[in-house]
Structure 1
Amino acid sequence: MSDAELTVEVTGAVATVVIRNPARRNAMTAAMWRQLPVLLDGLEADRAVHALVLTGAAGTFCAGADLGDLDELLDAGDASIAVTAEERLATFAKPTVAEIRGACVGGGCQLAVACDLRIAAADARFGVPPARLGLVYPAPTTRRLARLVGPSAAKHLLFTGELIDAERALRIGLVDEVLPADAVAARVAALTGVIAERSRLTVAAAKEIIDERADAERIAWWHGQVRASGEAREGVAAANERRPPRFGWTPPAAH
């Protein structure tokens, strides 16, 4: 029986998905790629969960896709299970943070880039190796990487397949913060704790708009939610009274 799996831990309002494949430095197997969207569907529907952390077990984020499943990935092209999982992570309705230590390569980098924020340990290493393997990086994945780091940096990563360290990843915008390895978990917990306390309406709307997934009708719907929920009135009242706001908006079951 394989010990490669994704596990979920929930602490307060934050869910943590942990990538586990100790024999392969947490490489994602076909079963794990298929498992991720299912887990995300459940966590998105759970109204008690306000934010999600993606990380890897035992000091490694993810060393990529398990190439034992190469034929399946090649045959599917941009419709592969890896791209499907990545897209589901990118469209997850709640804030997502990648907590990165050690190797974050190939499919691991793909998953990290699909998160909203990335907090890295100083020992983290990043790479996008298709040019070393003769593969074509999926178009949605390539475009997401280029939007994040810019065309030139994306080309450098893709053309060379070289690993870069955390400091360079920070300079090009691949990660948001770099910390000593023993400080990363506390920082991610603090960050997600702050996000979980903020207006879920504001955060959800901001994510959709920034990711260009909200058309004019959807944006009007968000403004209607502000009016109907009383969220802004509560926020202003709390600021005037110098107290923490008591936000109560929760996302509809479906839209």
Structure 2
Amino acid sequence: MADAELTVAVSGQVATVVIRNPGRRNAMTLAMWRQLPVLLDHLEAEPAVRALVLTGADGTFCAGADLGDLDEQLSTGDAGIAVAAEERLAAFAKPTVAAVRGACVGGGCQLAVACDLRITADDARFGVPPARLGLVYPAPTTRRLARLVGPAAAKHLLFTSELIDAERAQRIGLVDEVLPGDRLAARIDQLTGMIVERSQLSVVAAKEIIDGRADDARVDWWYGQVRASGEAREGITAFHERRPPRFTWSPPPTG
């Protein structure tokens, strides 16, 4: 499908990845699953980008995986490209926010859960449909969902394939905020604006530690960065002087 694609726009220090698949409610094709890690590699290496927003085109987040690709998906299990894309999104070094409108189902929910934060319009609907399709949800995906919402809520979603509304999704911890649709874009701008203005040393370290990707040696390295960078001195000085801090730390180049 030539019109099924992921597009990227960068505004200031925030990159927005948009899921587009007209006519299929933005279902993810195999080509789109393959495209996502490539885009993320590029954006992670871009120093000017400090946060990433994932959203869907035309009022729908993502209705899941395109079932026209079912045979290839069935043959791969946890080694499939959808899981690889999800894992790459979860490991993205910078903060990620899912901005959700409309359907967020199956592979769409998989991607939203892999983001750090989920901010949704009140028309959002969430579902995990493998039991309705005779599929086994990938193990890494299932565990990530259970860590987010707890075992009982994850079992309910997986056992029933029931669609839940945004209010219930917030109640079980699946989403962080629910807003009227006409306020979603402004809130996403406000939230990402706050994130990119904060010390990136603090933000990136917090994400890595919370996600369990920092062993003791890495945590010591982060503390060393605090001592060497001057970020804390600048932040405390700015606080006392009642001015915005001028944070300058950026992640060292990788590779």
TM tier, shorter chain? over 0.9
SS in 2 for 1:7: strand
Tell me how far apart the structure 1 counterparts of residues 240 and 229 of structure 2 sit (CA, whole Å): 19
Which residue in the other structure is 1:92 paired with?
92
1:171-210 paired onto structure 2 within 5 Å: 171-210=171-210
Tell me how far apart the structure 2 counterparts of residues 208 and 136 of structure 1 sit (CA, whole Å): 29
Which residue in the other structure is 2:23 paired with?
23
Which residue in the other structure is 1:227 paired with?
227
Question: What percentage of residue pairs aligned between the two structures are identical?
Answer: 80
Which residue in the other structure is 1:164 paired with?
164
1:1-255 paired onto structure 2 within 5 Å: 2-254=2-254
Tell me how far apart the structure 2 counterparts of residues 75 and 223 of structure 1 sit (CA, whole Å): 45
Tell me how far apart the structure 1 counterparts of residues 53 and 107 of structure 2 sit (CA, whole Å): 17
Gaps of 5+ in 2: none
Amino acid at match of 1:241: E
Q: TM-score, normalised by structure 2?
A: 0.99
Amino acid at match of 1:46: E
Tell me how far apart the structure 2 counterparts of residues 91 and 50 of structure 1 sit (CA, whole Å): 14
Tell me how far apart the structure 1 counterparts of residues 39 and 126 of structure 2 sit (CA, whole Å): 25
Count of residues in correspondence between the two structures: 255
SS in 2 for 1:131: helix
SS in 2 for 1:53: strand
Tell me how far apart the structure 2 counterparts of residues 55 and 187 of structure 1 sit (CA, whole Å): 14
SS in 1 for 2:8: strand
Tell me how far apart the structure 1 counterparts of residues 74 and 197 of structure 2 sit (CA, whole Å): 43
SS in 2 for 1:22: coil
Gaps of 5+ in 1: none
Tell me how far apart the structure 2 counterparts of residues 189 and 71 of structure 1 sit (CA, whole Å): 40
Tell me how far apart the structure 1 counterparts of residues 235 and 36 of structure 2 sit (CA, whole Å): 35
Tell me how far apart the structure 2 counterparts of residues 79 and 244 of structure 1 sit (CA, whole Å): 46
Amino acid at match of 1:195: I
Amino acid at match of 1:120: T
Residue 71 of structure 1 deviates from its aligned partner by 1.1
Please list the CA deviations of residues 181-222 of structure 1 after superposition, one character each: whole Å capped at 9, or x if unmatched. Answer: 111010001000000000001000000110111100110111
Amino acid at match of 2:153: A
Residue 120 of structure 1 deviates from its aligned partner by 0.5
Residue 74 of structure 1 deviates from its aligned partner by 1.0
Amino acid at match of 1:92: F
Residue 23 of structure 1 deviates from its aligned partner by 1.5
Please list the CA deviations of residues 150-198 of structure 1 after superposition, one character each: whole Å capped at 9, or x if unmatched. Answer: 0000000000000000000000000000000111010001000000000
Tell me how far apart the structure 1 counterparts of residues 84 and 73 of structure 2 sit (CA, whole Å): 11
Residue 124 of structure 1 deviates from its aligned partner by 0.2
SS in 2 for 1:84: helix
Tell me how far apart the structure 2 counterparts of residues 98 and 161 of structure 1 sit (CA, whole Å): 21
Tell me how far apart the structure 2 counterparts of residues 70 and 205 of structure 1 sit (CA, whole Å): 38
Tell me how far apart the structure 2 counterparts of residues 151 and 55 of structure 1 sit (CA, whole Å): 27
